[in-house]
Amino acid sequence: MKNLGLDFFLENEHITKSSSRKFIDKLFLNTRIYFVLKYIQLIFINRKLALKGIYDRNAWALSSFEVVKLIEACGGEFHIEGLDNLRNCKEPVVIVSNHMSAMESMIFPALIAPFMEVTFVIKESIVKHFLFGPVMKARDPIAVARTNSREDLIYVLNKGKEQLEKGTSVVIFPQGGRRDVFKAEEFNSLGVKLAKSAGVKVIPIALKTDFWGNGKLVKDLGPLNRDKKIHITIGKSIEIMGNGKQQNDQIIQFIESNLTKWNN
């Protein structure tokens, strides 16, 4: 797989430094006005590139890293571990993660895209969204309607296998939506099924991103809680054996154990 040469973090671990918070940002730390304005500005810039047909993997990774820097500038403190598990990946994989806020969709490209071609399984409504649609559509996502679970399953397995066979890794959030509280029974085995079907490994990611809350009026523009650190741990790749149940349980345990550690 082609490496872009855009390794933003360099080490296996990234912890936000206090110097990341600029003076001008500190003036706005008690509000989310600055964050929202800058975030929307970034989206419009990327939307313009997408509509021009020039929002490629390089632009996606760079724009995602801009979101990381914006979050840090506005008081977010990242604790990211296991970056080498992506950096050293030589083949396409299925990346499986819990889903808590809008943040992971925005920052995952900065973590993943420098090292591999990647796309997401997303809701079809996002592709049709006026603001986000052109950006996501430019990255050839696997969009599901969520009206018929069986049809969605077949589509993701078929389209996902196509992507993996051409060297593109696939990110799946098996919970089907954002959840403040992780429940194992809501975490389906779609990622494992896709990996087994395509003959690839799974990389699990556990995260706690409730620094960026879900909004009441606009879900993607919720409040910022600077008392909550942002945790992301990237696990080692897992080979799927048999029917994959054991590996799916292993992924759930990986997420649960990290969340327990972070919540204590």
Q: Residue 121's domain is classified under what CATH number? A: 3.40.1130
Least confident of 33-37, 41-45, 102-106, 252-256: 33-37
For the cut 50, the answer to whether the pLDDT of residue 67 exceeds it is yes
Whether residue 6 is contained in a domain is answered as: no
Interval 225-237 mean pLDDT: 94
Rounded CA separation 121/174 (Å): 9
Rounded CA separation 207/234 (Å): 9
Whether residue 83 is contained in a domain is answered as: yes
Rounded CA separation 187/167 (Å): 26
Q: Which is more confident, 219 or 163?
A: 163
Using the structure block, give the residue that is written with the tokens 């990346």.
95
Whether residue 5 is contained in a domain is answered as: no
Using the structure block, give the residue that is written with the tokens 């018929």.
148
pTM, 2 dp: 0.91
Residue 141 CB contacts under 8 Å (≥ 6 apart), including other chains: 119, 120, 121, 122, 126, 127
Whether residue 7 is contained in a domain is answered as: no
Return the beta strands (E) in the chain as ranges: 13-15, 78-81, 94-97, 118-123, 142-144, 169-172, 202-208, 230-234
Q: How many separate domains does the chain show?
A: 1
